Amino acid sequence: MSPTAATKVLIIGYVWPEPRSSAAGGHMMQILQSFLDQGWDLTFSSPANEGEHKEDLAALGIRECPIELNNSSFDRFVAELAPDIVLFDQFMMEEQFGWRVEQHCPNALRVLETSDLQCLRHARHQRLKDFLKGDTDEDDFSPLFAQAPAQEFQHMAETDLAKREIAAIYRCDLSLMISEVEIQLLEQQFRLPPALLHWCPLMLDHLPDEFPPFEQRAHFLSIGNFRHAPNWDAVLWMKNRVWPLIRQQLPGAQLHLYGAYTPPKAAALHNPAQGFHIMNWAEDALQVMSAARVCLAPLRFGAGIKGKLLDAMLCGTPSVTTPVGSESMSQDDLPWPGAVAESASALAAAAVRLYQDQALWSQAQADGARLLEARYRQQVHGPALIQRLHHCRQHLEQLRRDNFTGAMLRHHHHKSTQYMAQWIEAKNRPAP
């Protein structure tokens, strides 16, 4: 099979992309741009309602087609479209629509975009909750951050979410993984074949030549979608532990927190007298990041890689984060562009040093530029993704023969899902 400029791609999104609201939305747009660069014919569909900050895909030449759950109208839609590649955005979309795609387009390459490994994120969240119940120092989280891969596996393997998510990875022909740490976890602990996984991190098509200097910047900044549980936990930790320690040393310091979909519980934390400002959604995240002197991202749990920290590097803004925040974002021969710490006191001390020490701050800015160049260039990862998809299409029959576990899971899952979906559709059909 020889892919051509007429390659048809159907993307089935859990939500419509919002690149200015989340790293996941930004990553989806980077993938779509890689496809557009090939001249491919793209259709984006989703059963979700359109969000407030949805990207205008039609303006990019991408068809937008709403779809319904548990409705045979999708069968007609996908059969008529006859895509060469189907990309499921999050494993729940593969669960819902995978059997329909296989039934009506059996030769389409089925690809899963994970954004992050959700079962890892949820397992870490539960570990944090258990940790906080114990008799422990709530400022020092080094025991949590020191979890070995085997321990991560044990926590994840016990959950239904892991069984669902990893089964979906097996059922697809290829899964796009944003984190090398997650690839290692899947290959070494869960024993997934490397042929099913492809490293596809966040991608930047333009790296800046210069940044606003130290003396033109002011304030600390934190940014992230308030609906995302790791971000909300970080906001609370900043409010209760980290920020008070910074203010003790810098009484006039200001922290600006930006995030999409600000809930009332976040707005209630706004306290100018404490220098703690809830700023709601940022129309231009890079603009506010470029004006800040230091980015704070004290994440106590999470997975994937962090768009806010990549934005900080892109804006020349040093960042202070935890091992979870920096996970899979750097490499051994390059220092982190700021500081990585495991306790509230260490995070605060590092933030104050960066805020006051211009030489240290400038070195961190330069470290970020080197890291961007080394790991995140669209010109490297975009073509690598396209090449991998070409290879999978050309060797699809062999790849599926080699993935008997996936075939077995498809057989059992798709049959049960098909019957359940047909039952729900019949149940919802109006009475004659």
DSSP summary character for residue 241: I
Q: Where are the alpha helices (DSSP H) in 179-292?
A: 180-188, 229-237, 243-249, 264-267, 285-291
The predicted structure's pLDDT at residue 280? 85
Domains, the chain: 8-121+128-205+379-428 (3.40.50.2000), 214-376 (3.40.50.2000)
Instruction: List per-block mean pLDDT (blocks of 10 residues) for the chain, which spans 432 residues.
Output: 70 94 90 96 96 92 95 95 97 96 97 95 93 77 86 90 96 97 96 97 90 96 93 96 97 95 93 95 91 97 95 97 96 94 96 98 96 95 98 97 95 70 68 64
Which structure tokens are listed for 355? Answer: 């805020």
In this prediction, residue 413 carries a pLDDT of 78
Backbone angles phi, psi at 395, to 5 degrees: -120, 30
Tokens (6 digits) for 186: 């899947």
Residue from 92, 72, 73, 118 nearest 13 by CA: 92
pLDDT, position 147 = 83
